[in-house]
Chain A
Amino acid sequence: MSTEQIPALRLENIVKTFPGVRALDGVSFTVMPGEVHALMGENGAGKSTLMKVLGGIHQPNEGQIFIEEQPTVMNSPLDAKAKGVVFIHQELSLADELPVAENVYLGELPRKSFGRVDWSKLHADTDEILKRLNVGFGPKDLVGDLSIANKQMVEIARALTVDAKAVIFDEPTASLTDAEKSVLFEVIEDLKSRGVGIVYISHRMEEIFRISDRVSVLRDGQYRGTLETADTNEDEVTQLMIGRSLDLSRNVQHGELGAVALEVRNLSCGNLYQDISFQVREGEVVGFYGLVGAGRTEIAETLFGLRDPTAGTILLDGKETTIHSPIDAIGAGISLVPEDRKGQGLVLGMNCRDNMTLPQVDDMTAGPFVSDGAEVAIFDQYRDKLEIKTPGWKQLVGNLSGGNQQKIVIGKWLSMHPRVLIVDEPTRGIDVGSKSEIHKLIRELAGQGYAVIVISSEMPEVLHVSDRIIAMFHGRITRTFTSDEVTEDNLVQAISGITPEQGAA
């Protein structure tokens, strides 16, 4: 990077406030041409808001965006693209029923007379871009038939239709296999060599250190600094990311372990996961760690009766149990706090109390009617116990913060007094303060004798709350660690399939 180069993209002192929240508080950020600049931060640190400002979805309250040192206002995602800032989204925004070419040139189909599409130009141009990306599909293939990795390539191809100054990758590897990742990294290298500035948003340290030149860190909406990747290490970045406000030390408090509450023997479900066996004792927190798609959530869904296993047995308190529906699971004392809080955990248009008492509404009756008093009593009890901050039970749950929403879901199940509590991604999209509260809560629950399963994609979280950690890779358990023997290294290896079976792709 020579000093006389001008930055491809520069953000200066961006401030963005929402009612009651200062989502971005003076963020500055520079991307040079031909540089991969990683942007890191916890969920809720302000990355997505920053990207929305950059993409013209939000307008900043203060601050300025420069493209090649020209002050620029982004009016819309389209405007941003026209000005050379292109996004590769995490949630793919493709039309599945349409062929690749039409997706690549979505909104910009080449025209002939009478509003006709110029198909030959469309296919030729698309073909050229696809050749550059070296992909195994053609302009006429249907996007719906492509793998997720290939769909991402279509998104990238879209970026290449304009003279991009900067390309922003938002968690691009979230659902890619290792082989697919390598292809992606080659593409990024290619863009780099063409002098495009790359912003790379990811949670995964190993990727950041593999491909980035510099790392900038956001925390609580504030810019925390930029590090040269070559001169730093994971600890330093982590430190910047989480500061000292979040205690993510290794779990040391082991409660009294009771009898085996849940045992799973040789459980399989088609291609999703195979031959899963483990035990959870009363008072124990077992962490499931693995990449997205490793089969962790699917196991939870099976235990909760949302999937039928194709083989294997589930034992509760030593007795074999068949679970075909959530109702069976709840009856057997298994509860699930699902990973998608808004989609699966809550009815957002309902109030706090009704959400919390939903699974037991049949039991809260006086005569044929729901008993208001009994419901409010339950709500009050768990609001106090979990310190849920809400103006009152009539508040619609959609109006609460992520942390309080999650506590409503947890309260929903605790009020049912389950034997086994499964928590899938307990702190996804939750601010740092609430995170540690929820971690504390999980430990407390174990202390009270619940058998707890925690599924998480965040290693510090798994290390922090678990007594034992089960590592998964491609639908199989690769290794089980006690909290004494686990290290970050051997955990990463276990979830990458490196041990015990060397060389699994």
Chain B
Amino acid sequence: MQKSVLKNHAKEGAIWGFIVLELIFFGIAGEYMSMTETAFLAPDNMILLLKQSAPLGIIALGMTIVMINGNIDLSVGATFALCAIVMLDSMTWPILAPLGDWAIPFAWGLALLTGMLMGLINGLIVWKTGVDAFIVTLGAMLGFRGLVFMYNGEQPTFHLNWTMVDIAESAPLGIPLPILVFAVCIAVVWWIMNRTVHGRNAYAIGDNREAAVNAGIKVGPHMVWNYVLIGFLAALSSITFYSESGSVNPNDGMLYELWIITAVVLGGTKLTGGRGSIIATVGGILAIQLMRKGLGFIGADTAMVNLVIGSILIAVLYLDRQLNRKGEEELKI
């Protein structure tokens, strides 16, 4: 009876096993192949890695929720860029500009509202029209990107506020702020999905939508909330990233959705919904980030990173399928 529980735990554990392997491999290989003096596993390097994981990781948490719910969101990269533009540009608005540094919280708030609004639009369309989420958010990916361009043409948008940069670069307790934001997001999202009625219903909807409908679960509003949530997280990710850099290109965030979906799938979330773990998604993001950093550290270029991650994704899919086979009795359809 506990077989599949064990199997699920094994699957969730697999990503951490993989991370440990990566650490060992790059730790040792780094000793011989690295160009630099520092060790790969040096604390500074690891903290930098975590910090760099945060922007994608925060969005990946949202993607996990949406995918558990049985949907998908291909528009997060565009939302990410749009929120950055709103944040940076709003600080120059006549209303906010005179506030000086007090404009920062308003700018952040506006960015978050923008993200939630984009999520709300997607969610409402998915709910009310019944069009497949893949198509809705594929359209939104183009549409939101169009909005990004409409805002400032093909020019980058920038606004440097040193106070904001200081906040973004601060490190309370010695931990960089993006990592703290990421950690808080992990905790909150985990809590939502595992402890609240909304989270549990989201699982039920993704698992067996008809049963959920019959049991009277309000499927539509749950889906909308999850899109609002991923929009919020995309905005938050945008804030942590662009508060520091202060400049956004209209093409920023392109293909983020693909990296994020890769991480979420590596973490074992089912594409069809109903199964997925927030913690395993964090594992997925870390595994990808380790691979990128690690290969870079031992002198491989980004080309190799792409090649390896693509292959790993397919290999994981294949292994997962083999694990779930029924053996020789299987119907060959």
Contacts and interface: CB of A to CB of B under 8 A. Distances in A.
A and B touch in the complex (CB under 8 A): yes
B232 interface: no
Interface string A410-421: 000000000000
A116 interface: yes
Nearest to B210: A93
Nearest to A102: B200
Given A78-B215, A269-B329, A310-B328, A117 B208 contact: no
Interface string B298-333: 000000000000000000000000000001111111
B207 A109 contact: no
B51 interface: no
Contacts of A325: 332
Nearest to B195: A116
Interface string A76-89: 11100100000000
A456 B211 CA distance: 30
Contacts of A115: 196-198
Contacts of A117: 195-197, 200
Q: How large is the interface on B (under 10, 10 to 19, 20 to 34, 35 or more residues)?
A: 20 to 34
B331 A107 contact: no
B174 interface: no
Interface stretch (A38-46, A140-148, A193-201): A140-148
A301 interface: yes
Contacts of B212: 95, 106-107
Nearest to A79: B216
DSSP majority for the A interface?
loop
Contacts of A123: none
Interface in A280-327: 301, 305-308, 310, 325
Given A106-B215, A270-B328, A97 B207 contact: yes
Contacts of A107: 201, 204, 212, 215-217
Contacts of B329: 269-272, 307, 310
B128 interface: no
Contacts of A116: 195-197
A137 interface: yes
Given A78-B216, A93-B214, A106-B215, A111 B274 contact: no
A17 to B, nearest CB: 24
A18 interface: no
Interface in A230-283: 269-272
Interface stretch (B2-10, B38-46, B281-289): B2-10
B203 A97 contact: yes
A426 B210 CA distance: 29
A85 to B, nearest CB: 13
Contacts of B216: 76-78, 81, 107-108
B275 interface: yes
Contacts of B198: 115
A142 B327 CA distance: 23
A77 B2 CA distance: 32
A317 B207 CA distance: 49
A98 interface: yes
B173 interface: no
Contacts of B214: 77-78, 93
A117 to B, nearest CB: 5
B333 A306 contact: yes
A369 interface: no
Nearest to A308: B328
A102 B194 CA distance: 12
A94 interface: yes
Given A107-B217, A307-B329, A307-B331, A142 B5 contact: yes
Nearest to A105: B215
A307 B4 contact: no
B1 A95 contact: no
Given A95-B212, A115-B197, A270 B217 contact: no
A284 B330 CA distance: 30
Contacts of B195: 116-117
B2 A95 contact: no
A81 B1 CA distance: 30
B200 A270 contact: no
Given A106-B211, A106-B215, A97 B331 contact: no
A96 interface: yes
A362 B110 CA distance: 62
B203 A95 contact: yes
Interface in A99-124: 102, 106-109, 111, 114-117
A212 to B, nearest CB: 26
Contact of A141 (B1, B203, B207, B327): B1
A145 B210 contact: no
Given A98-B207, A102-B200, 14 more contacts: A78-B216, A93-B214, A95-B203, A95-B208, A97-B207, A98-B200, A106-B215, A109-B200, A117-B195, A142-B5, A307-B329, A308-B328, A310-B328, A325-B332
Interface of A: 76-78, 81, 93-98, 102, 106-109, 111, 114-117, 137, 141-142, 144-146, 269-272, 301, 305-308, 310, 325
12 contacts: A93-B210, A97-B274, A98-B207, A107-B212, A107-B215, A115-B198, A116-B196, A270-B328, A270-B329, A305-B332, A308-B328, A310-B328
